[in-house]
Amino acid sequence: MSVPFLFAVLTISLQGSALGLVQDAPRDPGFGALAREHIGELSDRIGARVAGSPGEVRAAGYIENVFSQIGYPTRVQPFSFSGGPRDRRSTRESANVIAVKAGSSNEEIIVGAHYDSEVRGRGAGDNASGVGVMLEIAAAIRDVATPYTIRFIAFGAEEEGLAGSRYTVSEIPPEDIGRVVAMINLDSLIAGDFAYVYGDRGDRGVVRDWVLARAREQGLDLRTQPGENPEYPRGTTGEFSDHAPFEDVGIQYAYFESTNWSLGERDGYVQVDPQLGENGYIWHTPFDTMGYIESTFPGRIDARLHLFATMLYQVLTEFSAP
């Protein structure tokens, strides 16, 4: 059965489920509840979403249907990638799911979150959490004027060398690169000890600095990478998530994440106390479930979702590039 046909079938079969998660989207600061429901659908009901697997296809169908039910023009962008969990030499199929909200300008902000996961665990934090926040805010701004056109992209196959985001960037005509004001990346938002936002080096981190200033004004505990590891200049991060292909072509980024940059090698990989999870790792482990995160860190899921959704909403509705 072809991937496009599977998407069509799953869009129909998931229609009733997704419809219940786009009604009465919140228009107030009480964000997080709807994102949590989407995380549950992706991680508890669908489960692991390994790149190129039936689970990933089901997740893409769910996301496509939610975007469509919100009312956005939506399309699936199929692509092939090399590798997979059983045969690294094979060619496998995945897809990005793209929805567009027209803004006051044809300049764009791209909001991205990958929906695939690793084999172990259920990918609740990495990265159903990013998709959940993206879907909640997509619904919340549906009828809100935005300074820029917003392009929401759920990336497939991030865990396979950022295949989905690399394909998206390769398909942007060179003359359109300059119309992209920023790329906002949402990845692994609910498990780590602290909430962070990263961006380009120094003064190029305009969106990062804007977000940090807004968070301070509201008394929100949002941090940036402190620069304790000389390999990662303060305020930045490594090229290990979907912001990287955009950064490579000169598009500035802001990247939301939850981890702990003061642990382990101080490279952002150890998220929590090393006595918890798998030596301090939640992502890519059997501990990446809503049940473990909620029981081990009571209240953290709701707090993180509220913070990140609030800041994403404000970026998309208020930020104006200098």
Tens-digit pLDDT profile for residues 241-251: 999 999 999 99
Measured distance CA(273)–CA(154) in Å, rounded? 30
Total residues belonging to the chain: 322
250-283: pLDDT as tens digits = 999 999 999 999 999 999 999 999 999 999 999 9
Residue 42 has pLDDT above 80, yes or no: yes
Please report how the helices 300-318 and 206-217 are oriented relative to each other, as an axis angle in degrees rounded to 10: 120
pLDDT at residue 222 in the model: 98
How many of the other CB atoms lie within 10 Å of CB of 139?
A: 25
| pLDDT at residue number 21 | 57
pLDDT the model gives residue 254: 98
| Per-residue model confidence (pLDDT) at position 322 | 86
> Tokens 């119309």 label which residue?
179
Q: What pLDDT score was predicted for residue 30?
A: 80
71-85, 164-178, 230-244 — which is least confidently predicted? 71-85
Q: pLDDT for 187-226, tens place per residue? A: 999 999 999 999 999 889 999 999 999 999 999 999 999 9
In this model, does residue 228 exceed pLDDT 60?
yes
Would the pTM count as exceeding 0.85? yes
In this prediction, residue 12 carries a pLDDT of 36
Among 33-37, 59-63, 149-153, 201-205, which stretch is predicted with the lowest mean pLDDT? 201-205
Is the pLDDT at 88 greater than 90? The verdict is no
DSSP secondary structure code for residue 247 in this structure: H
Query: Does the pLDDT at position 19 exceed 50?
Result: no
10-19, 40-49, 63-72, 75-84: segment of lowest average pLDDT: 10-19
Read off the pLDDT of residues 117-146 as tens digits, 9 standing for 90 and up.
999 999 999 999 999 999 999 999 999 999
pLDDT at 243 (0 to 100): 97
Residue 10 confidence (pLDDT) = 42
Look at residue 20 in the predicted model and tell me its pLDDT: 54
> How many whole angstroms separate alpha carbon 211 and alpha carbon 319?
9
Measured distance CA(30)–CA(131) in Å, rounded = 18
Interatomic CA distance for residues 172 and 317, integer angstroms: 24
Q: Is 77 helix (H, G, I), strand (E, B) or coil?
A: strand
User: Which residue is it, tokens 């300049």?
Assistant: 107
Q: What gap in Å lies between CA 197 and CA 86, rounded to an integer?
A: 34
The confidence band for 313, taking pLDDT boundaries of 50, 70 and 90, is very high
Q: How many angstroms separate the CA atoms of 234 and 227, rounded?
A: 4
